[in-house]
Structure 1
Amino acid sequence: MAAYFERLDENTYRATDATQGAWNIEEQHIAPVLGLLTHTLERDHAPRHEHPLPLARVSFDILGVIPIGEVEVEARVIRPGRTIELVEATVSHGGRAAATARGWFMKTHDTAGIAGSDFAPMPPRTGMPAWAADAWPGEFVRTPEILRAEEAPGRARSWLRPRVPLVEGESASPTARLMGLVDIANGLTPRVSPSEVAFPNLDLTAHLLRAPEGEWLGFDTTMSVGPTGLGITHTVLHDDNGPLGTSVQSLTVRPLA
């Protein structure tokens, strides 16, 4: 299966059909774009540090739709530092900014003796049924392997395994790999069928306790909708070693009828 992007030069990439979106198959799904932005943040950060700092938080704002085609990505340092650094990246199409990312990099310290969390553990993958995203069109939602246990519409726990490289011929970090998948959380357990209600997200913010490890990523997801068209998809992120962070997406909820 093709990678999501092919590099054309230092700042230009071509999206492949694997990025095909779920709301409109003529547009890119935003998830691989967020992975590409994270990849850009880390590539910009690393040369300035003998020992690159890990990403502690990355926030994305989605400014518009992106046709499947060429995109340009640029990065700049907002707040330089040896122990804390803030870097911003922007992806554009045809000269128009389509999404931005701001990533906080933070120096590590040994806190193993006090490490812990009260997030509920994920159920094991053994016996969890495979889930096909039949309610959604587009190629991207078919690129990861997905197992899902849904308690009710709007509440599910899922295990996902990426099967497509982010950029052809390039190694992406486990964090960039996660960020290239995490936006799919908004479609894992809709409260209402997407044929009846549209609920695209305007943003995504992830806070991380550590980088993910291993092939599988766990999503403990709750979707909530308010009375005036505002919604939230909240996910606790896991791997086989336990919780590793959270993501939150702001939704614009629009009945289609």
Structure 2
Amino acid sequence: MAYFKRTGESTFQATDHVGGAWDPEFQHIAPAFGLLAHAVELDRDRRRGDDLVIGRLSYDILGTIPIDVVDITVRVVRPGRTIELVEAALAHDGRDAVLLRAWLMRPGDTAGIEGSAFPAIPPPDAMPVWDPLTVWQGGFIASTDVRRIESTPGRAAYWVRTPLALIHGEDVSPLASAAGLFDAANGMAVRVSPNDVAFPNLDLTAHLFTQPRGEWIGFDTTVSFGPTGLGLTSSVVYDIRGPVGTVSQILTVRPN
């Protein structure tokens, strides 16, 4: 089972497992984010033989996407020997639906000064199982395995994994797999029930100071609503080794 099946050099058929949390007839954007990260890495590997790694993934969501075939294009915006900016677009029926801008950076040896002051969160086996289908709907949410501790509405620590492949029969990197789960952050620490308030995100930006590894991706998330219809979901992101970066999502907050 997988979220996508490749149908051509740049085209992919979405499966029912990408069904969205707000409307299961349209795609949850999380797997599409992973697909775009994978496309950027494939393009990098075709063009160059060095070891540039992705330090930032910045996605803009331009509209909803039916559960259908999507097409991806990739272009280099700012080429460079040690740093480059790459843009990828995911389109449906000729219309761009998601844009990604990724900074690729040459790694160096900084093991001697490695460290972070982000606090640790309990490991997955120390958190209770939580069923996100008690709050949400759709194929993507149904495909996830979640462990969660909620401290207050809009504040939670949790781990997410999925048994599904991102692309049927195709190897993807740990980063692309993790990127396919990043957008779960906006639904795992709800401040107000989505039955009462809609709060979809318009974007997602991930900043990474090390590459995530392993099947579990952890989050320490805070959701904030402002007084004029804007909101923010802000998370520290973890793998089993510890913190790896941050994820932020801007929200449009719309009481029903």
TM-score (norm 2): 0.98
Query: Contact (CA 8 Å) 1:185, 1:233: kept in 2 or not?
Result: yes
Q: Which residue of 2 aligns with 1:168?
A: 168
**What's the CA shift string for 1:70-106, capped at 9, x where partnerless?**
1111100101112101110000111111000011000
* Cα distance in structure 2, aligned partners of 1:22 and 1:217: 19
CA distance in 2, matches of 1:211, 1:160: 17
- d(CA) in 1 for partners of 2:3 and 2:80? 32
Q: In the alignment, which residue of structure 1 is the partner of 2:46? A: 47
1:1-257 residue pairs with structure 2 within 5 A?
2-133=1-132, 134-256=134-256
The CA deviation at 1:52 is: 3.0
Distance 1:205 1:194 in 2: 23
The residue identity in structure 1 corresponding to 2:15 is T
Distance in 2 separating the partners of 1:63 and 1:79: 23
SS in 2 for 1:120: coil
1:124 deviates by 2.5
8 Å contact kept, 2:62–2:97: yes
- State the Cα RMSD in Å: 0.8
Cα drift, residue 131 of structure 1:
0.8
Aligned-residue offset at 1:50: 1.5
Contact 1:84 1:104 in 2 (8 A): yes
Q: Which runs of 5+ in 2 are unaligned?
A: none
Letter of the structure 1 residue corresponding to residue 152 of structure 2: A
Q: Deviations over 1:105-142 (max 9, x none)?
A: 00011111111111010112233111111111111012
SS at match of 2:75: strand
Provide the C-alpha distance between the structure 2 equivalents of 1:247 and 1:88, rounded to a whole number of angstroms. Answer: 19
Looking at structure 2, the residues matched to 9 and 26 of structure 1 have their Cα atoms a distance apart, in angstroms, of 24
Q: Is the 8 A contact 1:235 1:248 kept in 2?
A: yes
Whole-Å separation in 1 of the counterparts to 2:47 and 2:247: 28
User: What is the one-letter code of the residue matched to 1:126?
Assistant: D
Please say if residues 49 and 82 of structure 1, whose CA atoms lie closer than 8 Å, have aligned partners that are also in contact.
no
Q: Distance in 2 between matches of 1:70 and 1:27?
A: 12
SS of residue paired to 2:85:
strand
Q: Distance in 1 between matches of 2:212 and 2:123?
A: 17
The whole-number CA distance in structure 2 between the counterparts of 1:89 and 1:124 is: 34
Alpha-carbon offset, residue 46 of structure 1: 1.3
Distance 1:76 1:215 in 2: 29
Task: Report the count of equivalent residues.
Answer: 255
Q: Deviations over 1:201-237 (max 9, x none)?
A: 0000000011112221111111011011100000100
| Amino acid in the other structure paired with 2:121 | M
Name the SS of the counterpart of 2:45 in structure 1: helix
Any gaps of 5 or more consecutive residues in structure 1? none
Measure, in 2, the Cα distance between the counterparts of 1:223 and 1:52.
35
Describe the SS at the equivalent of 1:180.
helix
**Matched residues in 1 for 2:125 and 2:47: separation?**
43
